[in-house]
């Protein structure tokens, strides 16, 4: 679709702004320049609005390198013109499978140490790289709805990648933005492969309130408060072009939990006590809304930081204790 290009509307309004400015400087029909002034102001105003709309759909920038290891299988999965990079570590025996989704501006390498802990316990591990991250192709306008749809689609194709007879249980692990997508995926359990339920979900310092991110970006762009309703209206216009099922009347709440997604499977939330990136609001929202899930456990971990792929003993001790409730799992 023509107007899914991120900067196209902005570019068109800039072109009109320049053209109207020429009409103002060299009026072709009327000697009075004031006749053209409203047109100039209108074009520059719309160019500014379209700029701050396009700026909201931030891209991850230069991708970080993917995990490099001969022990992992690398798969490029395609759907239409979009490709997603998936890396898989297969155990020789039947074992649980855990699927990792990394955070914003991360890659498969970002969660390698977390994944390695499960490999040492005898699990199969798969790591998705988000669109525009690692070796996955970018989106014309990056948004979490499109990203979650891509991941969900390829999850449904796992039977072609992993031998279903060797998978005993299915788990999800999402870090930061990856946690946000995990809650969305859990809303559509029919997409889970192998005919298995989601046995458990692990969320590490998850992003759960997208409205907070919108406010943060709006503040960084210094959008005047009186323009924010118009800005939001045009943002919804572009989102609806990509995802017609989205209703503006549902407001930003549809992109926050619980409306965005609410796991019904046993869920463990591991939150950095001093989260320098997301703060505590997302964790507090989880504690508030996930109480509908009787199998929700949450922990604030002082030694844990938001970013970084290193091992963390406190996190691993909590993980091990939580996993022991699943008596059918193969824990070495």
Q: Is residue 159 part of a domain?
A: yes
* Predicted local distance difference test score (pLDDT) of residue 331: 67
Structural domain boundaries, residue 102: 73-209+260-323
* Predicted local distance difference test score (pLDDT) of residue 288: 92
Task: Compute the CA torsion angle 57, 58, 61, 67 (nearest 10 deg).
Answer: -80
- Is residue 114 located within the same domain as residue 21? no
- Is residue 15 located within the same domain as residue 163? no
- Residue 191's pLDDT band (cuts 50, 70, 90): confident
- Is residue 182 located within the same domain as residue 240? no
**Strands 82-89 and 73-79, how do they pair?**
antiparallel
Q: Is residue 29 part of a domain?
A: yes
- Burial of 68: CB neighbours in 10 Å, binned 0-12, 13-18, 19+: exposed
Q: Which of 231, 255, 279 is the last residue of a domain?
A: 255
* Predicted local distance difference test score (pLDDT) of residue 201: 96
Considering only residues 17 and 182, tell me which one the structure prediction assigns the higher pLDDT: 182
Q: Is residue 250 part of a domain?
A: yes
**Strands 124-129 and 82-89, how do they pair?**
antiparallel
Considering only residues 31 and 219, tell me which one the structure prediction assigns the higher pLDDT: 219
Task: Give the whole-number percent of the chain exceeding pLDDT 70.
Answer: 95
Average pLDDT over residues 291-300: 89
Q: Is residue 98 part of a domain?
A: yes
- Is residue 117 located within the same domain as residue 198? yes
The overall average pLDDT reported for the chain is 89
**Tokens coding 152:** 């969900």
Q: What phi, psi does 317 have (nearest 5°)? A: -65, -40
pLDDT of 174 higher than 90: yes
For residue 107, what are the contacts with CB-CB under 8 A and spacing of at least 6? 63, 64, 65, 66, 67, 129, 133, 134
* Predicted local distance difference test score (pLDDT) of residue 141: 85
* Predicted local distance difference test score (pLDDT) of residue 332: 62
- Is residue 167 located within the same domain as residue 198? yes
- Is residue 192 located within the same domain as residue 228? no
Residues 75-93: tens digit of each pLDDT: 999 988 889 999 999 999 9
* Predicted local distance difference test score (pLDDT) of residue 154: 92
- Is residue 248 located within the same domain as residue 267? no
Count up the domains in the chain and report the number.
2
Distance CA 183, CA 151 (A): 12
- Is residue 136 located within the same domain as residue 271? yes
Residues 306-320: tens digit of each pLDDT: 987 789 999 999 999
* Predicted local distance difference test score (pLDDT) of residue 88: 96
- Is residue 42 located within the same domain as residue 77? no
Q: Is residue 285 part of a domain?
A: yes
pLDDT of 196 higher than 90: no
- Residue 298's pLDDT band (cuts 50, 70, 90): very high
Distance CA 259, CA 19 (A): 45
- Residue 4's pLDDT band (cuts 50, 70, 90): low
**CATH number, domain at 166?**
3.40.50.1820
- Is residue 88 located within the same domain as residue 34? no
For residue 50, what are the contacts with CB-CB under 8 A and spacing of at least 6? 9, 10, 13, 234
Average pLDDT over residues 256-277: 93
- Residue 180's pLDDT band (cuts 50, 70, 90): very high
- Is residue 203 located within the same domain as residue 265? yes
Average pLDDT over residues 269-284: 94
Q: Is residue 331 part of a domain?
A: no
* Predicted local distance difference test score (pLDDT) of residue 6: 63
- Is residue 132 located within the same domain as residue 177? yes
pLDDT of 5 higher than 90: no
* Predicted local distance difference test score (pLDDT) of residue 124: 95
Average pLDDT over residues 265-276: 94
* Predicted local distance difference test score (pLDDT) of residue 156: 86
Residues 15-65: tens digit of each pLDDT: 888 888 877 777 776 666 777 788 888 888 988 998 999 888 888 888 999
């Amino acid at each position: 679709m023509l107007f899914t290009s991120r900067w196209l509307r902005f570019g068109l309004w800039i072109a009109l702004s320049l053209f109207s400015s020429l009409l103002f400087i060299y009026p072709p029909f009327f000697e009075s320049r004031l006749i053209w002034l409203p047109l100039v102001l209108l074009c520059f105003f719309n160019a500014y609005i379209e700029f701050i709309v396009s700026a909201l759909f931030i891209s991850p920038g230069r991708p970080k390198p993917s995990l490099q290891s001969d022990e992992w299988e690398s798969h490029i999965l395609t759907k239409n013109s979009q490709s997603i990079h998936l890396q898989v570590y297969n155990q020789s025996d039947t074992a649980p499978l855990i699927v990792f989704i990394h955070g914003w501006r991360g890659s498969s390498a970002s969660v390698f140490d977390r994944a390695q802990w499960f490999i040492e316990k005898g699990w199969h591990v798969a790591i998705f790289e988000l669109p525009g991250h690692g070796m996955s192709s970018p989106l014309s306008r990056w948004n979490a709805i499109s990203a979650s749809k891509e991941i969900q689609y390829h999850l449904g194709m796992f039977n072609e990648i992993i031998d279903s007879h060797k998978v005993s249980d299915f788990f999800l692990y999402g870090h930061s933005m990856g946690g946000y997508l995990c809650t969305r995926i859990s809303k559509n359990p029919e997409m889970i492969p192998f005919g298995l339920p989601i046995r458990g979900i692990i969320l590490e310092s998850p992003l759960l309130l997208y409205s907070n991110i919108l406010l943060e970006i709006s503040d960084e762009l210094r959008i005047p408060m009186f323009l924010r309703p118009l800005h939001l209206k045009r943002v919804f216009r572009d989102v609806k072009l990509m995802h017609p099922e989205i209703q503006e009347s549902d407001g930003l709440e549809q992109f926050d939990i619980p409306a965005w997604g609410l796991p019904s499977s046993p869920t463990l939330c591991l939150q950095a006590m001093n989260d320098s990136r997301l703060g505590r609001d997302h964790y507090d929202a989880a504690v508030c809304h996930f109480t509908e899930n009787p199998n929700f456990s949450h922990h604030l971990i002082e030694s844990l930081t938001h970013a970084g792929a290193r091992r963390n003993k406190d996190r691993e001790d909590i993980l091990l204790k939580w996993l022991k409730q699943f008596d059918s799992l193969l824990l070495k």
